[in-house]
Amino acid sequence: MSVSSKALVARAFGWPRLPRHRRSRLHGSDLAWSVAFLVPYAILFAAFVIYPMAYGLWMGSDPALYATLAGDPRYLRAAINTVLFVGVAVNVQMVLALLLSGFFARRRWWIKALLAVYILPWTLPAVPAYLSFHWMLVAYPRGLIDNLITALFGIEGPFWFNHGWLALLCDIVANIWKWMPLWTLIFLGGRMAIPPDIYDAADVDGASPYQRFVYVTAPLLGTLYVVSTLIAAIWAFGDYSPVLFVSAGTPSFESEVISTLGFHYALDFANPPLGVAAGLSVLPLLIPVVILLIQRLKAMEVQL
């Protein structure tokens, strides 16, 4: 196998496995330079990650805060909503992105053109995009979606934000709409890195499209899929904008997630420590995801 196709296989498996030299100790000016290169990030990390985190942990260290949270039905609803928001939005968009990357890998001129349009939601800034979602759903009394429902089916659309679960669903759909293109692009890149000879070999063996996916594509994209899912989950835990701008938490805090509820605690109820405590309460779910991600990246490096 030539070097380049070897690199391609390696890329398809995750981290590229190019030959590396053994690490040798740095001396003199090299050591000074490399330390100097790292200084800006070290300062940034100390000043804007470590210090705020320590400050936040200190702010949210009073156990009484968590008792207050546990007694607040708004918090309990937001906690359930957060799990649903992250679980549903992330998994749906990852599975669809994986499937759609197969569609976009087809070599047709119109599919290439469609891809350019399909990426648009990801490049659209969050606030304008979600405001548009809000305005086409909100019943003041009628938005574009209701008008379309009436035009197509002759019935009135529902009041999207009068019901907590429906409002949350709208937020989830908006999040999927915005972020699915990014993951589709990433999986498309991963598929492109799979050497075509593997598929040719599968074809010679008479593999069906389903078998090609299960025995070739899925194992080769597995690592990329897991890493992407973990990153998407981390981002979704902190994603406030769909809830803030699509459903605005209506009706009466029923579609809030923890990141937006913490914001209301801190600002509207003038209780910043309670807001911090609400945010810290997702750590038992978030920390394992971060550790898993770091481990996956480490495992990929050990393969080198």
Q: Closest CB to other proteins among 63 and 117?
A: 117
What are the percentages of helix, strand and coil residues in the chain, rounded to 5? Answer: 75, 0, 25
| Amino acid type, 266 | A
Nearest Cα residue to 178 out of 241, 135, 227, 226:
241
Q: Name every residue whose Cβ is closer than 8 Å to that of residue 201 and which is 6 or more positions away in sequence.
A: none
Q: Closest CB to other proteins among 118 and 159?
A: 118
Q: Closest CB to other proteins among 83 and 290?
A: 290
The pair of three-digit structure tokens given for residue 26, joined into one six-digit string? 């740095």
Question: What DSSP string describes 13-33?
Answer: TSS-----PPP----HHHHHH
Residue 43: CB minimum distance to other proteins, A? 9
Residue 91: CB minimum distance to other proteins, A? 18
Residue 254: CB minimum distance to other proteins, A? 19
Residue 159: CB minimum distance to other proteins, A? 14
The pair of three-digit structure tokens given for residue 176, joined into one six-digit string? 């999927």
Whether residue 219 has a cis bond before it, omega within 30° of 0: no
Residue 156: CB minimum distance to other proteins, A? 11
Whether residue 16 has a cis bond before it, omega within 30° of 0: no
Residue 143: CB minimum distance to other proteins, A? 6
Residue 95: CB minimum distance to other proteins, A? 15
C-alpha 202: how far from chain center? 33
Q: Closest CB to other proteins among 166 and 248?
A: 248
Q: Closest CB to other proteins among 67 and 205?
A: 205
Q: Closest CB to other proteins among 44 and 218?
A: 44
Alpha-carbon gap, residue 34 to 161, rounded angstroms = 54
Nearest Cα residue to 164 out of 263, 89, 84, 45:
84
CB 193 within 8 A of CB 16: no
Alpha-carbon gap, residue 222 to 203, rounded angstroms = 21
